[in-house]
């Protein structure tokens, strides 16, 4: 009896072995993509250290997920320096910005010995008339290229129009057409305002009297608003400060009740308000938000890595850097220092006639208003206009591939002008990608009682144009989402919530 069982066992073992050999010989073998040698060698060298194991794991995952090519700063500069506009609404190129800067600096308004230094708060394309843009077709000559600039000089705000080809400049004083208001702050304005208080001995003494080292102090420009005649005809800003001791998240450690009023033009300290000496500075413990600083025993990898595959590549195309075509959509997309991004000439194909129908000529973020509505001395004036005062584009951050944007995303750089008119490149400011989150775009099935057995379902795939702006402690994500049913969905996403338009 035992020999019979043993014979059966040998027979089954032999059969299983033959089946495995047949499968190996006739079915393809799948090998997962290997991380790059640079990642492998670094992780191998540090694999003996348990503290580096999680870091190596994340590096290997990043190596498996295909990273988009990251052009060097030099290659970016060369590409943008040789760029030429292809569409009437294309933003100003580096060559055009350099010419505009030369024209403005050479003009008699700013070149005379009596004139003060000029600061350029805005230098963007002065868009051609809508009728001229709609008449234009690829292959036609571009309408005349002009730049619109807002300049400050000698306490005056000037509105400038510069013909790029001829160098002709036309200037108007803003006070002639607008009774009040000041232009968007430049990056130089914001930076200089944060350092201005340290030139005041009274400010330094106030800070040290609170037991805070000056080397630990970080300050930020806070929008002023308008609260009476004493602020008329002066470009003022209020500055508040924080302690950076033992944390990078200084927003959690405000020096409460200390407010400094600064003249943005002269950088003079106008007033120091100190009404919070009795308010202690919060402790720095557990305020650091960085991944590397969070407690090691707190699990952060709650989900496995996820990636959306597109075996045939993305469906959309980008022509001439700014003209986007996807599915039944076509639109022009460009970065903007104030609005972040501008979407123009959005058209969708009519499914019945095949004609492209205009949905929107121009769309952008006009403003994002943040009133704190707190009546106390240190808070009542906080009525931020984050686009108009600080600029979404000026405060945009390079998008992080595979985290901010998925694989197969297309990245678009921005070319902006600094306060002196010098052009600079903001890399990877905008990304464009197809999005699928498992949602259903359309579905219908017939009831079983009909006996028809019909089930129709279509996935919801959309196209997203995204940018991110960090305005102090607010991280905004601006999404323009295009759906195949002709709908445009605009999302302003804050890390604490979502505003869906």
* Contact call for residues 475 and 494 (beta carbons, < 8 A): yes
Take residue 103 and report the two structure tokens written for it. 């024209």
CA distance 462 to 433: 8
The set of residues, in sequence order, having a beta carbon less than 8 Å from that of 278 and lying 6+ positions away, is none
Take residue 320 and report the two structure tokens written for it. 């001439």
Q: Catalytic one among 265, 288, 404, 474? A: 474
What does each C-alpha distance from 332 to 78, 130, 343, 360, 468 come to in angstroms? 24, 14, 6, 11, 19
386 is catalytic: yes
Kindly state the greatest CA–CA separation across the chain.
116
CA distance 212 to 255: 9
Take residue 235 and report the two structure tokens written for it. 């470009």
CA distance 144 to 126: 10
474 is catalytic: yes
List of long-range contacts for 114-117, beta carbons under 8 Å, 24+ apart: 115/153, 115/154, 116/153, 116/154, 117/153
Tell me which residue has tokens 């995952």.
61
Q: Catalytic one among 189, 321, 386, 413? A: 386
* Contact call for residues 255 and 262 (beta carbons, < 8 A): no
Name the residues annotated as catalytic. 386, 474
């Amino acid at each position: 009896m035992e020999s019979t069982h043993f014979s059966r066992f040998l027979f089954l073992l032999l059969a299983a072995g033959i089946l495995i050999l047949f499968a190996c010989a006739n079915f393809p073998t799948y090998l997962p993509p290997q991380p790059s040698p640079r990642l492998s060698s670094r992780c191998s060298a540090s694999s003996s250290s348990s503290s580096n194991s999680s870091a190596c794991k994340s590096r290997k995952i990043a190596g498996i997920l295909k990273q988009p090519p990251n052009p060097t700063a030099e290659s970016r500069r060369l590409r943008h320096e040789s760029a030429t506009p292809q569409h009437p609404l294309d933003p100003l190129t580096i060559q055009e910005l350099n010419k505009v800067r030369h024209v403005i600096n050479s003009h008699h308004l700013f070149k005379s010995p009596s004139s003060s230094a000029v600061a350029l708060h805005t230098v963007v394309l002065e868009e051609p008339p809508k009728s001229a843009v709609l008449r234009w077709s690829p292959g036609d000559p571009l309408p005349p290229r002009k730049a619109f600039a807002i300049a400050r000089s000698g306490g005056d705000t000037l509105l400038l129009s510069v013909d790029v080809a001829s160098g002709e400049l036309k200037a108007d004083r803003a006070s002639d057409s607008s009774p009040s208001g000041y232009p968007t702050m430049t990056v130089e304005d914001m930076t200089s305002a944060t350092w201005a208080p340290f030139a005041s001995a009274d400010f330094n003494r106030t800070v040290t009297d609170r037991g805070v080292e000056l080397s630990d102090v970080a300050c930020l420009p806070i929008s002023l608003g308008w609260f009476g005649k004493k602020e008329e005809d002066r470009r003022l800003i209020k500055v508040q400060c924080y302690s950076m001791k033992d944390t990078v998240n200084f927003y959690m450690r405000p020096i409460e009740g200390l407010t400094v009023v600064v003249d943005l033009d002269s950088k003079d300290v106008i007033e120091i308000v100190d009404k919070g000496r009795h308010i202690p500075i919060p402790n720095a413990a557990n305020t650091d938000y960085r991944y590397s600083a969070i407690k090691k025993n707190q699990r952060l990898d709650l989900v496995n890595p996820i990636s959306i595959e597109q075996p045939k590549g993305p469906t959309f195309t980008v022509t001439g850097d700014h003209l986007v075509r996807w599915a039944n959509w076509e639109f022009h997309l460009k970065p903007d220092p104030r609005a972040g991004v501008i979407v123009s000439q959005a058209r969708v194909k009519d499914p019945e006639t095949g004609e492209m129908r205009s949905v929107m000529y121009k769309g952008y973020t006009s403003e994002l208003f943040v009133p704190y509505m707190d009546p106390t001395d240190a808070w009542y004036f906080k009525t931020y206009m984050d686009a108009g005062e600080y600029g979404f584009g000026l405060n945009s951050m390079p998008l992080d591939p595979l985290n901010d944007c998925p694989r197969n995303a297309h990245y678009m750089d921005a070319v902006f002008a600094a306060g002196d008119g010098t052009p600079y490149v903001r890399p990877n400011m905008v990304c464009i990608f197809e999005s699928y989150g498992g949602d259903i775009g359309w579905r219908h099935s017939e009831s079983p009682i009909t006996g028809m057995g019909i089930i129709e379902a279509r996935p919801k795939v959309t196209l997203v144009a995204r940018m991110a702006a960090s305005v102090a402690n607010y991280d905004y994500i601006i999404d323009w989402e295009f759906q195949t049913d002709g709908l445009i969905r605009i999302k302003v996403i804050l890390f604490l919530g979502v505003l869906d338009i």
